[in-house]
Amino acid sequence: MDHRGQTGDMRCLAIVPAFNERGSVGPLVSELQRCTPQLDIVVIDDGSTDATSQHVPPGAVVLRLPFNLGIGSAMQTGYRYAALHGYDLAVQVDGDGQHPPSEINLLIDTLVAQKADMVVGSRFLGGERYDQGFARRLGSGVLRLLIRALTGRTYTDCTSGFRVANASVIRAFAHWYPEDYPEPEVIPLLHRAGFRVIETPVRMDPRVSGRTSITLLGGLFYVIKVAGCLVLDMIREPWPPEELAAS
């Protein structure tokens, strides 16, 4: 059956952050155009040095950052673009090829059906096994326990970047977005701000090319840094109501 998603009249944008992903960004964008023709696409070239932007197929918007700013700044650029152009939904699809475009409609349908503000695609909720190294598995477990302590909810894949946000979250992220490792950090922040964040099982693939932004050697530092940010976020108010109302 041809499953196009329950988008109706909603305007949907796929945000693709890419840093030195020349080998994967072209096939990814082509697959997005084939599987989800109802989505517009913006590729955020985060200061790539391998001519990533030149491998983006026609039909997608490319925004080139002057130098590498990191995933947080790249994604905030995408969310600002979405807010400026009045999109109702924004889907993050990483440029390394791990996020199958065929799963996007599932994310969108879940958000619409469950009346959620953001849906995170989880590698660990379905029946398929997703292999991780020991260090990543341990780090993810620590962050999962900490987020549960802060929110009272269990998120099985808090580091997943495969997610869809509605217009309210788009405006929030356009106003402020964490810089370094935002995926786990925004979950308790959105929870505190009254947004509804849920998960749905999705399939994810191994990286097609490029390199991961989190090395095994940096795994311990990653966990310590994110854990510290999560605790400090309990006194942070990144999205004052008056700012969101003015967006």
Domain that holds residue 104: 12-246
Q: Enter the DSSP assignment of 209.
A: S
Does the residue 46 lie in any domain? yes
Q: Specify the higher pLDDT residue, 38 or 208.
A: 38
Which tens digits make up the pLDDT trace of 140-186? 888 999 999 999 999 999 999 999 999 999 999 999 999 877 999 99
Q: Which two tokens stand for residue 143?
A: 């962050």
Does the residue 196 lie in any domain? yes
Q: Rounded mean pLDDT of 110-122? A: 98
Q: pTM value?
A: 0.89
Does the residue 1 lie in any domain? no
Does the residue 4 lie in any domain? no
Cα(135)–Cα(154) distance, rounded to whole angstroms? 20
Residues 6+ apart with CB under 8 A from 218: none
Does the residue 3 lie in any domain? no
Q: Provide the pLDDT for residue 162.
A: 97
Q: Provide the pLDDT for residue 130.
A: 59
Mean pLDDT score of the chain, rounded to an integer?
Answer: 88
Q: Provide the pLDDT for residue 220.
A: 76
Q: Provide the pLDDT for residue 56.
A: 98
Q: In what order do the strands lie in the sheet with 89-92?
A: 61-64, 39-45, 12-18, 89-92, 163-166, 118-122, 197-201
Does the residue 121 lie in any domain? yes
Map tokens 């964490």 to a residue. Answer: 178
What is the count of structural domains for the chain?
Answer: 1
Band (1; pLDDT cuts 50, 70, 90): very low
Which tens digits make up the pLDDT trace of 60-112? 999 999 999 999 999 999 999 999 999 999 999 999 999 999 999 999 999 99
Does the residue 92 lie in any domain? yes
Alpha helices in the chain (DSSP H): 25-35, 71-84, 104-114, 134-151, 167-175, 182-192, 219-232, 241-246
HSE (CB half, 13 Å, CA atoms) of 196?
9
- Contact yes or no for 61/41 (Cβ under 8 A): yes
The CATH number that applies at residue 155 is 3.90.550.10
Q: Which two tokens stand for residue 201?
A: 């099982």
The per-residue DSSP string of 220-245 comes to: HHHHHHHHHHHHHGGG--SS-HHHHH
Does the residue 198 lie in any domain? yes
The pairing of strands 39-45 and 89-92 is unpaired
